[in-house]
Amino acid sequence: MRARTGGDIDGFDILLNSDLTWTSAKIRDVATHEFGHVLRLENLDIQPDGGQTMYIPLHSGADSLEFGDISGLTYLYPNDDVPTVTILDPDPDDSIGSSVYVRVSVSCSDSISNVKVCLANPGEDQFSRWHTLSLNGGYYTKTISLPIWFDSGSGYVSARAETVNGIYGFSWVPVTYT
């Protein structure tokens, strides 16, 4: 990367080692990760971020931004149109295969088109599908059945809100059950 005195980036190059074997998928993974550095994202080296594009070692399928990557960009480049998402006290039942009640607060200067939530066990690279929440008394809520793989005693609840203009806000909180 080349930067001017003021810190603005005026160009960058991504070089691929010609001694390695490159598939189109691996090129997409590496290019997406390196472009994250152009946007000033740092490498992540802790296991809970294992599904993130900026996680090292780079994993297969890192060619799309995940909630942690987008949260980092939102922090670096704030915008009033980005929804602020707050997950309020996820309440897991204490038995595997049961459910978790999720309540989410969203604030934004723009209209919200949808709010979704998923469960994650990043240490095992396990993620549920995104579940759409319903507006209920000023909060978005949903009771979600715990997937059978959600059995390590802890994981994460991730929430995202999308505006009518296609701008996303993200949040996640750890959840532990006994």
Beta bridge partners of 86: 105
Interval 34-45: pLDDT, tens: 888 888 888 877
Contacts of 1 (CB under 8 A, 6+ apart): 9, 11, 12, 13, 37, 38
H-helix segments, the chain? 24-38, 67-76
- Supply the pTM of this predicted model: 0.56
Give the start-to-end residue ranges of the domains of the chain. 2-76, 84-176
Mean pLDDT of all residues belonging to the chain? 77
Examine the pLDDT at 95 and tell me if it is beyond 50: no
Closest CA to 65 of 49, 88, 84: 49
Average pLDDT value for residue range 126-145: 83
Interval 149-166: pLDDT, tens: 665 566 788 888 998 888
55 conformational bin, left if phi > 0, alpha if psi -120 to 50, beta if neither: beta
The predicted structure's pLDDT at residue 123: 61
Examine the pLDDT at 167 and tell me if it is beyond 50: yes
As a whole-number percent, the residues of the chain with pLDDT over 90 amount to 7
Residue with the bigger pLDDT between 91 and 143: it is 143
Query: How far apart are the C-alpha atoms of 46 and 173, rounded to whole Å?
Result: 16
Query: How far apart are the C-alpha atoms of 49 and 58, rounded to whole Å?
Result: 11
Architecture of domain 84-176: Sandwich (2.60)
